[in-house]
Structure 1
Amino acid sequence: MSRVDNEPTPQDDAARAGWLYYVGGLTQDQIAAELGISRQRAQRLVSRAMADGLIHVRLNHRIGACLDLESDLTARFGLIRCRVSPNLGVATDPSIGIAAAAAAELERFLRMPSPLVIALGTGRALRGMVDAMSPIEAEQHRLVSLIGNIAPDGSASFFDVVMRIADKVRAPHYPMPVPVISPTREENAAFHALGPVRKVVELARAADVVFVGVGQMSNDAPLLKDGFVSRSELDEMQAAGAVGEVAGWVFDSSGKYLDFGTNHRTGGVRVEPGLSRPSIGIAAGPSKVGAIAAALKSHIINGLVTDEPTARAILDL
């Protein structure tokens, strides 16, 4: 049954409490008085506003330690761009901690008046980036996916981000209408022979800026967890030296793409090492350190948004 009155929902109350606390600067006692509730309920509502993603916090002060890490990473790997976010602690998903910095980096390009083609990978970190973005009118740009958006069961890939960004910025967008990984080389070639696919591929290859996640190829590999590769396929690629992947394309510890395994059947466009254009990796977490470092070594990515512990671990390798 649809609501026919103006009675607030629990999420309405949480949003109002979050607004009063984070924007209005009210204390929890003041929020309780304003809403006519107990202090304990006010505290729970403020916590829920944050937990439900109703509030996005951006830090406007650059912490000195983070600036030092950005400088060291830039010097070590010759980066075009580098952003290091403060540590949120071991109990927090690292992708949450870097989402706001990643969103700010993408918004920087979206606010440029000259038309750009912005190519995007997929994954949890990029989805967090999109969720943290502010709506922007950016109809002058075009958004294109680097990676197929069809999952093994035929459904849309859950972590595809092009459609989500397009909703926020009102820009023309071009999904990659192929499987993330095809069952055979022949099927992958057949998809890429289609005219509409060729046009999207050409657009992605000509992108002015690239944003990608960086996946690890350890036993918790995103490609395995999301059902794109089997356990035996992962074992074979690990034996061949696989440590990471970008847009589904797997590489070794030197950042060299493997001529092996699912790389023969991966849909979409590979990010080539040594691009002169920005190719920005969005990734953080202990399991990703080796993969990020390899992608930096070979310049698959020439920009990075990460967090303090990950930055330190990369520099310590």
Structure 2
Amino acid sequence: MPNDIDGERSDKTREALRAAHLYYLQDLTMDAIAQEMHTSRSSISRLLGFARSTGLVDIQIRAPHHGSSSLEDAIQKRFQIAVHIVPVPDHASNVDRLERVCMSAARMLDRYFDSNMVIGLAWGSTLTSISRHLVPKELHNVQFVQLNGAGNNQTTGIVYASEMLRRFGDAYSGTSQQFPVPAFFDDPRTKEALWRERSTRRVLDMQARMDVALFGLGSPFADVPSHVYIGGYLEPEDFRMLDEAKVVGDCATVFYRADGSYRDIHLNDRASGPDLDQLRRTPRRICVVSGVSKVASLRGALAAGLVTDLVIDEGSARALLDSVTLDSVTGDMVTEPAQMVKP
């Protein structure tokens, strides 16, 4: 039976390659290809979709430098980062906006991921969505490492995080290293003790050797609050502390303010995510953001220097520029306070 399945898959791959060659390299229409291959137009459409989803066809849009949008130029110059803006209509729902941004991000990752890399992944709704749209790429000696624990007093978080890691590992022929610790420890001394254990040190050492980090951003101001704020990870007292500390967001469950500061936020002493100074030493740091309500969190991440590459929807990109004003004397970024949303 396995041989029959493998044979069917091989036949489909050959047909998809032929259809892709005729469509992309010979400029034949789908109707013409269907006639040549003695099948229907809908079958050709499915074959071309299969070719794209399995990586047989790699479609890239190469805009000339002078053709980049003024919005991209403005963000690149203002923040000194690479930007990819995803066109999404203003009337799109939050769910549709997230899916479109994550699909675009997933299909760009092959330009960042290569063999012999250690790649860090921060769990969350954004990376979970990205993992559903990955385009396979055959690599070797690629290691994916979870950046922060996912457990709380209701769940270990292992199933949630492992499914995301598995999809990345399968798509890029890589191995996956889970980080089976709580998202937040009850006592910072427990974290300090566990961080000295050899099994934990092995994961932390992998994180310290990352070539690429891929993450979304958490935000307590989001229209649909990020998972860490509504998933049972934070107690009422934690929210009070975050309010008092003027926190605007988190990266891999490490919290920061609008100016990028984070060291004296006490909840970070209990957090399992990487120290932000360590994260900044990672050569490439890809941040994926969807929704205007994440802009305050994004501003803080940019102020902290956490981002080298940004994938963002068009409306949020405009809001980012609109929300940033420069003090006429100092040139410092001025931000308006926001009210934290609690579950």
Q: Could you say which residue in structure 2 is the equivalent of 1:38?
A: none
Is 1:200 matched with 2:203?
Answer: yes
Alignment of 1:83-102 (within 5 A): 83-92=84-93, 93=95, 94-102=97-105
SS in 2 for 1:178: coil
Deviation string 1:224-252 (CA, Å, 9 cap, x unpaired) is: 21221123312320221100100000000
Contact 1:216 1:222 in 2 (8 A): no
Is 1:298 matched with 2:286?
Answer: no
Q: Could you say which residue in structure 1 is the equivalent of 2:243?
A: 238
Contact 1:143 1:162 in 2 (8 A): yes
Instruction: Show structure 2 runs of 5+ residues with no match.
Output: 1-23, 324-343
Match of 2:181 among 164, 167, 178: 178
Q: Could you say which residue in structure 2 is the equivalent of 1:267?
A: 272
- The structure with the largest alpha-carbon Rg is 2
Match of 1:286 among 283, 292, 302: 292
Deviation string 1:68-107 (CA, Å, 9 cap, x unpaired) is: 322221111111x321100143332232121122113322
**What TM-score, normalized by structure 2, do the two folds share?**
0.70
Residues of 2 paired with 1:62 and 1:130: CA distance? 26
Match of 1:227 among 208, 214, 232: 232
* Alignment-mate amino acid for residue 70 of structure 1: E
Residues of 1 paired with 2:157 and 2:145: CA distance? 19
Contact 1:88 1:97 in 2 (8 A): no
Q: Could you say which residue in structure 2 is the equivalent of 1:67?
A: 69
* Alignment-mate amino acid for residue 71 of structure 1: D
Distance 1:116 1:239, change over 3 A: same
Post-superposition offset of 1:118:
1.0
* Number of positions where the alignment pairs a residue of Structure 1 with one of Structure 2: 279
Contact 1:275 1:299 in 2 (8 A): no
Greater shift, 291-300 or 181-190, is seen at 181-190
Q: Could you say which residue in structure 2 is the equivalent of 1:9?
A: none
SS in 2 for 1:150: coil
Residues of 2 paired with 1:269 and 1:257: CA distance? 12
Contact 2:295 2:320 in 1 (8 A): yes
**Matched residues, percent identical?**
22
Distance 1:195 1:26, change over 3 A: same
Residues of 1 paired with 2:59 and 2:267: CA distance? 39
Distance 1:155 1:147, change over 3 A: closer
Residues of 1 paired with 2:69 and 2:310: CA distance? 13
Post-superposition offset of 1:148:
1.2
Alignment of 1:251-266 (within 5 A): 251-266=256-271
- CA RMSD in angstroms, aligned pairs only: 3.5
Residues of 1 paired with 2:105 and 2:142: CA distance? 18
Instruction: Show structure 1 runs of 5+ residues with no match.
Output: 1-22, 36-41
SS in 2 for 1:179: coil
Alignment of 1:25-174 (within 5 A): 60=61, 67-79=69-81, 81-92=82-93, 93=95, 94-111=97-114, 113=115, 115-152=116-153, 153-156=155-158, 158=160, 161-174=164-177
